[in-house]
Structure 1
Amino acid sequence: MFLVKSLLIGIVAGFICGLLGIGGGSILVPLLFYFFSLSIKRTIGTSLLIITISSISGVFTHWKGKQVYFKLSFFIVISGIFGTQIGAYLTSILSENIVKIFFILVVVILGIKMWKDPPYDEKDLKERKEFAIWKSLIIGFSGGVVSGLCGVGGAILVTPLMYIFLKIPINICIGTTLVGVFFNSLSGSIAYMVRKLTEIKIGIFTGISSILGAYYGARLSLKLPRKTLRRIFSIVLIVGGISMLFKR
């Protein structure tokens, strides 16, 4: 039963990772919480390990589809690493209820915001990306803090902020953010393992199965209309956050 749970959770989370570039944490955290009965802190640590593994496949597929802007990714990653360590530290000193409430508020608010915001095209995209470098540092740091605190890869904050403030098309936001997801999740995963807040066996088995899901999710992301991607992104965030309200 352990292997079946790991396989199914990994495929679902990996698919979400590849499709939306959000690491799958907004899906992983509730699923691990429900099916493996882990504490919220151990759930977050295990989630970060799985995200680290699954994001590799997603990044590669989006890169092949020319949906990754590495220059912005670099600045997001650098600032995100520092933010992740702060988030992991905050988790170690905050109560589980505070972490849980913060997780719910973040994903639901961002989900609603993504649904309402208008679409952006690729007109003057190069100029917008060049101008956005300093903003990327702030966005990456903020995403890193959320990643370390909530175990959601940081992309649930980074992708909406890129879309809203940098006005970059959603498909490029997704591919670019996935690069940051990998490095931020790796950094956060190490921080949680050092604090012995990770279920290594669950993380590895689920992570391996998530690679397949991430590949097909990324393939679908390259084919879907941008508006559809944005709406799916919003629904996943809202449902993932609200579901945590029904688990004590």
Structure 2
Amino acid sequence: MVWLVLVGIGLLAGSIGALVGLGGGIIIVPSLLYLGTSTNIIDELTPQVAVGVSTLIMIFTGLSSTLSYLKHKVVDYKAGLIFFIGSAPGGIIGAYVNKNLNAEAFSLYFGIFMVFMAIVLVKNRLKPMLFKPGKGKIVKTYKTENGHSFPYGYHPLLAVLISFVVGFSSGLFGIGGGALMVPVMMLLFFFPPHMAVATSMFMVFLSSITNSITHISLGNVNWPYAFALIPGAWFGAKLGALINTRLKSASLENMLKIVLIIIGLRLIYQGITG
């Protein structure tokens, strides 16, 4: 019974995580905590262990979805590595600073911020400014299978600085970096929705490796539960990536907005109730 429930959670987390580029931790962590405190299905876990298990699972979610997106050529590996250079140290510093902050208050503020980002995640009028020639700027064009072209671009140094802030915020509030990085890539660098999600999952894969090493060294991983979650997360990620590639850009963007609003409202609720 326990294994079936955990496989199901892994499948759901992998599917949704790969579909919108969030990784799946936003589902795994609250699910484990709920099952441990409100049911007799699994033993009660500390928040640290729940996060540690989730981080380990996201290695497999990230790898599985990245391999699937690779077939459709929608992963910008160079951009993903550049963003990772900033987000990795930012996440570590943010997690450290988190220990000295009022978690409830910041969950409230961050939840409001997430809802705000969902609202503003629409076409803006800064695109013409972005693609003016500039020293050191990387400008690319993504072409869909239907022949539509989507130009996007970024300056490497600016990308590192922004991803550092994103990583810091993610570590500070204890939420996956994809929840912030996907809308940032779309709003500031004008990544097409499909490429933003796929590149985010590549980053999730990289960051989960580094973060898992820390959690494993601290003993924050319940291995039996992790092994039960991995199969569902692996195949769920493939399912999410498959659905993603069959959605239109507008549909994917709308789905991302809905997920961000749900996450934001959940954080607001946590901040209010403590």
- Decide: shared fold, TM above 0.5: yes
1:126 counterpart SS class: strand
CA spacing shift, 1:141–1:39, aligned 2, 3 Å: same
CA distance change for structure 1 residues 87 and 191 in 2, over 3 Å: closer, same or farther?
farther
Deviation at 1:119, TM superposition (A): 7.9
Instruction: Check whether the contact 2:153–2:189 (CA below 8 A) recurs between aligned residues.
Output: no
Deviation at 1:8, TM superposition (A): 1.2
| 237-246 vs 62-71, greater mean Cα deviation | 237-246
Would the alpha carbon gap of residues 110 and 154 (structure 1) be closer, same or farther in structure 2, given more than 3 Å must change? Answer: same
Residue identity in the other structure for 1:126: K
Tell me whether 1:58 sits opposite 2:57 in the alignment.
no
Residue by residue, what CA displacement relative to the aligned partner does 1:89-139 show, whole Å, maximum 9, x if unpaired? 23444455356446534543333333xx12899xx7617655432232123
1:51-90 equivalences in 2 (<5 Å): 51-90=58-97
* Further displaced range: 226-235 or 237-246: 237-246
Hey, what does 1:20 align to over in structure 2? 20
SS at match of 1:179: helix
CA contact (8 A) 1:51 1:153 kept: no
Q: Which runs of 5+ in 1 are unaligned?
A: none
Distance 2:88 2:220 in 1: 19
Task: Sort the Cα spacing of 1:43 and 1:70 in 2 relative to 1 into closer, same or farther, 3 A.
Answer: same
Structure 1 residue corresponding to 2:189, chosen from 166, 174, 177: 166
- Distance change (3 Å), C-alpha of 1:10 and 1:146: farther
Rounded to whole Å, the distance in 2 between the matches of 1:10 and 1:239 is 19
Rounded to whole Å, the distance in 2 between the matches of 1:230 and 1:57 is 22
Deviation, structure 1 residue 11: 0.4
5 Å-filtered alignment, 1:94-173, equals: 94=101, 96-98=103-105, 100-101=107-108, 104-114=111-121, 117-118=122-123, 126=140, 129-173=152-196
- Following superposition, the deviation at residue 219 of structure 1 comes to 0.9
Closer, same or farther in 2 for the Cα pair 1:202/1:139, shift >3 Å?
farther
On the 8 A contact 1:10/1:207 being kept in 2, the answer is yes
TM-score, scaled relative to structure 2: 0.78
For residues 99 and 225 of structure 2, the distance between their equivalents in structure 1, rounded to whole angstroms, comes to: 21
Report what 1:10 is aligned to. 10
Decide whether aligned partners of structure 1 residues 26 and 113 sit closer, same or farther in structure 2, where only a CA change above 3 A counts: farther
TM-score by length of 1: 0.85
Is the partner of 1:81 in helix, strand or coil?
A: helix
For residues 162 and 215 of structure 2, the distance between their equivalents in structure 1, rounded to whole angstroms, comes to 22
| CA separation of 1:239 and 1:74: change in aligned 2, threshold 3 A | same
Deviation track 1:199-240 (CA, whole Å, cap 9, x = no partner) reads: 333233213320000001101111101111011111112223
8 Å contact from structure 1 (residues 147, 185) kept in 2? no
* Root-mean-square deviation (Å): 2.7
Unmatched tracts of structure 2, length 5 or more = 38-44, 132-138, 142-150
Number of the residue aligned with 2:34: 34
Contact (CA 8 Å) 2:177, 2:204: kept in 1 or not? yes
TM-aligned CA distance change 1:225 to 1:20, over 3 Å = same
Q: In 2, distance between residues paired with 1:207 and 1:150?
A: 25
Aligned residue for 1:152, secondary structure, equals coil
Count, aligned residues: 244
CA-CA distance at 1:46 after TM superposition? 2.4
The residue type paired with residue 207 of structure 1 is I
**Partner Cα separation in structure 1 for residue 77 and residue 49 of structure 2:** 32
Structure 1 stretch 224-233 or stretch 18-27: which is displaced more?
18-27
Distance (whole Å) between structure 1 residues aligned to residue 99 and residue 152 of structure 2: 36
Q: Equivalent residue of 2:140, what SS?
A: helix
* Structure ranking higher in strand proportion: 2
Contact 2:89 2:167 in 1 (8 A): yes
